[in-house]
Structure 1
Amino acid sequence: MAFILVVDDDSEIRDVIHIYLRNDGHEVLEATDGIEALETLSKCEVDLIILDVMMPHMDGIQACIKIRERYSTPIIMLSAKEEDMDKIVGLTTGADDYMTKPFNPMELIARVKSQLRRQNLLKPKITETNVINIKDLVIDETKHYVSIRGQEVTITPLEFGILKLLAANPGQVFSADAIYETVWKERTGYSDNTVMVHIRNLREKLELVPREPQYIKTVWGVGYKIDKYEVTAKT
């Protein structure tokens, strides 16, 4: 069972999602806009957020930005827009997945399960200590903690998964498909921009000059890597 927050100004859509989530064994909280969602999150701990884009008062994009300032909770964004740019904006602001309306409720439930499964897989084992140092970057798997130049960085579970994958395999180049299949735990079949957007988000948070990355390097035409000589690990 998971606690899931559904944020949408359309009561009929909230009701449908609520019913399917409850039938799948989850507890459901509801909010009608971004402001109410933030108020709910300040009072209750949730495992996943389903967030509509088009809402009054505070829309989903603004809400996602505010949520990511404090929480790493997985976010599935909903929107009636289908253009690739809208999907990129949603992912860039910190969403973990994106669905367009109208959607099949069973597909939404499948994506909810996928996000919750990843969240559990990315949670560290309490009995293990795994700290990786890369120059001024520290990745603590046990605490799910990342810092750069002595400052803690808030990253999403998927961003953490990508960073951990590259740092734990220094020198190895991972294609976008390999990163997706390893971190998302699914076969490829996604927009080509998905991994790229998450890599870009990581660079924005970690790099002094994102266009000249010192940590996550691009191997043109192949994929991404962290140089081997830069990494030291403590277990």
Structure 2
Amino acid sequence: MNILIVEDEASIRDVLKSYFLKEGWGVYTASDGLEALQHVRKFKVDVILLDLMIPKIPGEEICREIRKSSNVPLIIISSKSREEDMINGLNIGADDYITKPFRIKEVIARINALLRRVEMFTKENKEVLRFNHNSLVINFETQEVLVENKAVKLTSTEFKILDAFVKKPGKIFSRQDLSYIVQGYRYIGDGRTMDAHIKNLRKKIEEDPKNPKYIVTKIGSGYKFNSILDEAR
């Protein structure tokens, strides 16, 4: 497993690299945004750890650029600790968000949890599901989604949320349930982080995100998936 650390503070970068090497992971490092994009294009990277406040190209722009072509698991690490900053990070495509100062063991645990969910998801999904006369098509093996015959790009977290919904249509999922399913731990808070993921997912698969027909809010309970399954193969 190869991880890319994008961090301009050498002390933080070196400590993370040291611990990751002890985990047996391959490690690439970048100290600025330009170098980060070069590494993404040149090397096979399985996880990206991205600081937002880096020189040359801001982390937010890096995240958006990566999401144009890849759903590689991406975790933001940042000293921006306001909830609005966290939600913005998820809105631009991050799978998780860790604030500084952080504990190394927590970072490693978050990475392992994300990788376990990705691995489990890959092993369990070998089919194609079609909904509403092919208006929504989900290929779980290739992680491709078509909406009205047009491909849409989901992050790995968004895809895992969609997977949970469509495999159990009609089931009400709380925000904590979804956090456990996609991240491997139950988020304790007011739920705005998961709401941000749902909002992004709706923008990509719903005809009218403000009046969704697929992912429906159940006030006081959470969310559920409503749709007509055409076929599975």
What TM-score comes out, normalization by structure 2 length? 0.93
Partner of 1:83: 82
Matches within 5 A, 1:122-201: 122-124=121-123, 129-135=126-132, 136-190=135-189, 192-201=191-200
Partner of 1:224: 223
Contact 2:47 2:72 survives alignment (8 Å): yes
CA distance in 1, matches of 2:130, 2:212: 16
Residue type at the aligned position of 2:130: N
Is 1:24 paired with 2:30?
no
For the residue of structure 1 that corresponds to 2:87, the secondary structure is helix
CA distance in 2, matches of 1:81, 1:64: 16
Contact 2:213 2:226 survives alignment (8 Å): no
Partner of 1:98: 97
CA distance in 1, matches of 2:115, 2:186: 17
Contact 2:130 2:138 survives alignment (8 Å): yes
Q: Structure 1 residue 190: deviation in Å?
A: 4.9
Residue type at the aligned position of 1:170: P
Structure 2, unaligned runs of 5 or more: none
Partner of 1:40: 39
What TM-score comes out, normalization by structure 1 length? 0.92
Contact 1:124 1:144 survives alignment (8 Å): no
CA distance in 2, matches of 1:179, 1:13: 31
**Over aligned residue pairs, what C-alpha RMSD do you find?**
1.6
Q: Sequence identity of aligned pairs in percent?
A: 38
Partner of 2:52: 53
CA distance in 2, matches of 1:88, 1:166: 21
What are the superposed Cα offsets for residues 184-216 of structure 1, whole Å, 9 maximum, x if unpaired? 222343551121111011011112321111221
Runs of 4+ in 1 over 3 A off after TM superposition: none
What are the superposed Cα offsets for residues 76-131 of structure 1, whole Å, 9 maximum, x if unpaired? 10111211111111111111111111111121111111111112112145xx7421
Q: Structure 1 residue 36: deviation in Å?
A: 1.6
Contact 1:124 1:143 survives alignment (8 Å): no
Q: Structure 1 residue 164: deviation in Å?
A: 1.0
How many pairs were matched up? 231
Moved more, 207-216 or 10-19: 207-216
CA distance in 1, matches of 2:113, 2:119: 10
CA distance in 2, matches of 1:146, 1:16: 38
Residue type at the aligned position of 1:157: S
